[in-house]
Structure 1
Amino acid sequence: MSTATRTTRSASHTGTGPPGSFAVTGSGLHVPPTVVTNEDITRVTHRNGDWITSRTGIRERHRLAPELATSDMCLDAALPALDTAGLDARDLDAVIVASYTPDQPMPSTSVVVKAALGAPRAVALDMGHAACASGVHALLAAAHLLQNPSFNQVLVIGADCASRVIHPADRTAGVFFGDAAAAVVLSRIDGKGAGLLSYDIGSELSHAVQIPGGGSRRPLSTESLTAGEHYVSMDGRAVWDTATTLLPESMTNAIRQAGMTPADIDHYFLHQANLNILRAAQQALDIPPERMPITLDELGNTGSAGVFTALHRAVEGHRLRSGHTFVVSAIGAGFHWGSLVLRQP
């Protein structure tokens, strides 16, 4: 059982990780081949390309082909992750998919991915309630599953197809979001001192980012479709104010709970939302640039996949090494936010 304490912010819950150890043993990334540049976006939103780059740090983003769905991206990210981990899908004990853009309301996307992979024994779980922060929740759930001796190999996938829920002419959300999927394999190991060291998880009700239509409160109808209620609406100023406050606070809480300082952390894998938000977090914690990979310049805001794209970049470049500590941190609609401190054994 993990111990927990309340931080000064009542909406946040901070605690130490469970005692068992695990390692990141594989990672994979899938990016759709269709590229949408700032110049392409400008033709639709009438935003200046230089304005987009200066305000967001994004130069281009990718779009999934119309005949494909989120689960297709999940599969294409999962296969190389399993390959680098040296595993067959039949070895998996759990498949967790973090996504706010599932293939459909039912059946769950994790079951679709499990079937496509051929992982008959795997428990299938979906995490989408925290939007862009769902990847953090998925990792937290995986860390606790791996305390059970029946769970040895867990595949965690972050994937979002935001292009399906963004109005093409939206001058705010339209410039940010891209489609992608990234996956990691977590493997339980003997010993102590690795895996999840601490966490800080919080939430606070806000409708600043939302998809109002399609649920039980506003079911899809001709009227809701005409009103565009099935698309994302976003208050950019509210996102900025919340993210630049809560991300540094959450990371600080989690790092302190681990008995460490920001300087002790080898890598920071943050939600790739906006370059200026990332820079604000970097400045607040005095993080050296080389410790915080950036992927949004080429991929845009890929939602639940964002933290995993940054993690994949470090794994692929052989920069995540034995004994390294790393922070995974994100904020999503709701608002939900969270930070994990982990150590690679």
Structure 2
Amino acid sequence: MTPLPVRIAGTGVHLPPDVVTNRRLAETLDTSDEWIVHRTGIRERRWLAPDLATSDMCVAAALPALTSAGCTARDVDAIIVATYTYDQPLPSTALIVKEALGAFRALTFDITQAACANGVQALFLGSLLVETGAAERVLVIAADCASRVTDPEDRTTRVFFGDAAGAVVLTRATAPGAGLLGWDFGAELSYDVEIPAGGSRRPTGATTFADRRHYLKMNGRTVWDTATRCLPDSVLNATAQAGLTVDEVSHFFLHQANLNIVRAAMDKLGVPRDRAPITVDRLGNTGSAGVFTVLHKGFSEGLVRPGDVFVASAIGAGFQWGTLCFKV
């Protein structure tokens, strides 16, 4: 297919300074460093300070992304914020970020309910805005503060997640053949990853609070089975749409849910594991931001070169998943 002429012009990441090691978690949970590393590959993660919110991380990640792209907030035509841990139900987190940055002419969009797949959906929307000419520069920010929605008493979720934000600036690609070559999205309704309370079905109240229903609930076995099936299949579908095989892909920027899931996905694809950069070991599962942390690693460290093909792929609660295939 003809590429959508879109490129990543700059990237940025923000990591809260509070480093939470496995041993620190083991002080209050029935777990150990050895158990967590064996099951997840995670050694530490970051937690946001109590007086800050997701929008603060968004702004902190956006600034270096704009600098990397050689532009300012006033040059941005649209801001898309991908998060399931928004500052509050209303107003829009993207609008809060817009005001904080001074991006006065930017349209604002929030993508919220695909959880860890929010970021890939936001990149797709941003690419379409650039391709149609509706925006010349789109600032896409993915951030989550999972420490606020995981139960401090539940080792099933508490050990997996961390807080972080990542940002990219999308602009029009000019290199011949460069751009978004293909994509794939899918979904299967499931309640195996959910936050049961806080919406119109179960409004937050004394009972839901006492039952801890406002915290994230996760069936780890179902997550493993779905992720190791759907992520590789989605990558194959997106690369096939692009007219490529996975052997022609230089970089696999995969959702950083769990080191074992990333390895299993790469093994199923039959691709060397070293083509998939890793941040989950030191950041944990950072939700919407996960793919952005490895994108930033690839671009900021000069690993991604002109002519390279890369995929960005994630799966989140719902279940919803998606893959984008780009050529630089």
TM-score by length of 2: 0.98
Q: Is the 8 A contact 1:20 1:191 kept in 2?
A: no
Q: Is the 8 A contact 1:151 1:188 kept in 2?
A: no
Quick one: which of 165, 175, 197 aligns to 1:181?
165
SS at match of 2:113: coil
Does residue 103 (structure 1) correspond to residue 87 (structure 2)? The answer is yes
Amino acid at match of 1:323: G
Partner of 2:178: 194
Deviations 1:228-286 (A, max 9, x none): 11100000000001001111111111111111111100100000000110000110112
For residues 288 and 202 of structure 1, do their structure 2 counterparts lie closer, same or farther at Cα, with a shift above 3 Å needed? same
Amino acid at match of 2:43: R
* Partner Cα distance (1:20, 1:241) in 2: 33
* Partner Cα distance (1:69, 1:20) in 2: 35
Does residue 131 (structure 1) correspond to residue 100 (structure 2)? The answer is no
Q: Is the 8 A contact 1:198 1:257 kept in 2?
A: yes
* Partner Cα distance (2:243, 2:173) in 1: 23
Quick one: which of 70, 87, 91 aligns to 2:71?
87
Quick one: which of 230, 246, 249 aligns to 1:265?
249
Does residue 311 (structure 1) correspond to residue 275 (structure 2)? The answer is no
Partner of 2:129: 145
Partner of 2:99: 115
* Partner Cα distance (2:311, 2:237) in 1: 11
Partner of 2:258: 274
TM-score by length of 1: 0.93
Deviations 1:293-338 (A, max 9, x none): 0000000000000000000001110111111110000000000011
Quick one: which of 9, 14, 24 aligns to 1:30?
14
Q: Which moved more, 1:218-227 or 1:206-215?
A: 218-227
Unaligned runs of 5+ in 2: none
Does residue 247 (structure 1) correspond to residue 231 (structure 2)? The answer is yes
* Partner Cα distance (1:148, 1:65) in 2: 40
Partner of 2:279: 295
* Partner Cα distance (1:207, 1:317) in 2: 38
Q: Which moved more, 1:285-294 or 1:218-227?
A: 285-294
Amino acid at match of 1:164: R
- Please state how far the C-alpha of 1:192 moved relative to its aligned partner: 5.2
SS at match of 1:247: helix
- Please state how far the C-alpha of 1:196 moved relative to its aligned partner: 1.1
SS at match of 2:155: coil
Q: How many residues align?
A: 328
Deviations 1:57-108 (A, max 9, x none): 0000000000000000000000000001110100001111100000000001
Q: Is the 8 A contact 1:96 1:125 kept in 2?
A: yes
* Partner Cα distance (2:239, 2:267) in 1: 16
Q: Is the 8 A contact 1:143 1:195 kept in 2?
A: no
